[in-house]
Structure 1
């Protein structure tokens, strides 16, 4: 079954629900966006009874805004405990501490950031909310002298985004300082089956404009990215799954691979794939299969077949986060048409109410691997060039 919550449900996910007649838990949000006559809506009481009768019941959520529902209605399952284990980055680091004994991390309450003594920390390090979403409140600290300015930026950002998401999704009360891992960053959509075996559904490379860039602007996937990482990522996920004890569980995992080829986890987002229906829908464009369906029916991708004739093609999702320096309410209009002209083959544009959320939308695109300039250009843009006065 599927548990839908805001802020966004893509047409592709809605169509998936309709095509496969997937039961959707009846909430105020799902009732508002789905036609009851066309979709199988089930009450909260019915959903709970189904899970009580069948503890192996598979549940997918499109948004971490649904975490509160899970904690409130499914306390008899392992879901709340696993959610807390993964969402709280301090607990997650403690879980894996024996496998990464030299990895530095430390929790810091938000109200103590300005007075914290970080002189003994390992530089550079990353500071971010212990419970966070996207790249909100995430900064790299290269040297001690930068700390006061970064704390000021964090405070300003928290004031802007506080209230946009439930505390289970973004909680500014505690931050984590952790070692900065040099290397290439990847995001993985996967699930653990009934036996705890990890099944990889997509691997994406996270592109950055510089070593200071902590944004989620561009993620790409390709035949080369999948095949060169499939085995090693599978081994890593298997080991992590054993430590966490997860089964029948969807996850969006972020890792870095350092210069020695060691995979170091960054975070795990529980019970879902990429937020705002981004990376799961990217898999459809890139690889031609529906990862929502694969999870809910426990299918495994045949990568050799799926990647046939995909040489030289790169597929991307571009997150148009508002990096203009202006609040959305101060922006009269955003020129989406001009932005799309910068892509040789845009596949889909998703607009977002940028006056309510700190982003303009998302672009899915297909690019030749030897012509990546369009992605480099959008990666470095602060998007102010697309503001219409």
Structure 2
């Protein structure tokens, strides 16, 4: 008997306003749709009516809504403020409604304030394709001279401060504004964007909040929702921090093997799992992603497969899916022997070819992601056939 494939090929869709249509996605070879109800404010209940409407839209295109990305965790929950009890109840109702309607995998993150962050959204590579890019020098220039956060200097060494100072001095006002917008405006799927003053006020909420405080808050949140997840068959999949290190003085704590072990041990339910993003983990060269997939394989409920090129300390860009530091052959080989078929989507992609002339969400062009999807499925097919030979 031949083994099944390892992945359910999927693609992210941002809803009816997405310039990449469901028909476009179907033509890439994806069968699953990863989406969310982005029009519903964070903290409010996802009603059955709204969930069913999205299911109907997806199924009308001959596809399946297989993963929610994301059901956002409200900032008040991350801080466990007085409002968190009702917000958690709302979250549980949304999970129940999703489960009763057959949407069983839910991705979320616990990143404070900003969610995923890049400093350049359209960085030209040698072949003139455009990639998402993160440089700690860019971030430091914003932090030191635009945000002017108190105590900023302790987060950067002398070399980074010198480079950030030189960078900011030679930037035009337009370039400084673009940097601010890139960092604060909110990337696709993130919780929200901020004006500068609003962001400063949000940062104050985290004064004195430690990594352990945030970990404890996350464990409390997961412990509260896990009975609902178990009852309705929901697999919760936490997305790692992106980038996987502290920014703006706020600790991040879903960044490496030990962080995953902490969360999986503290909340041992098999419904408490991982969205394994090879790009997020890969931005820290100390992460052994093959070993991590092997160790946590049964707790991985969703895969984001992308590769990054690490240029230097806290400095990376989105590479081609067959380049960069993600060894997809070795990663996929670790799945041999598993009888699970797990949703997977190619995460991010270069703007290239005709998509260079279209307006799309940064990192979410159709052609670049299709290229990544077909590369990953090609690796999977080769491994499956060799296994069966």
TM-score by length of 1: 0.33
Higher strand share: 1
Greater RCO structure (CA 8 Å; 6+ sep): 2
TM-score by length of 2: 0.33
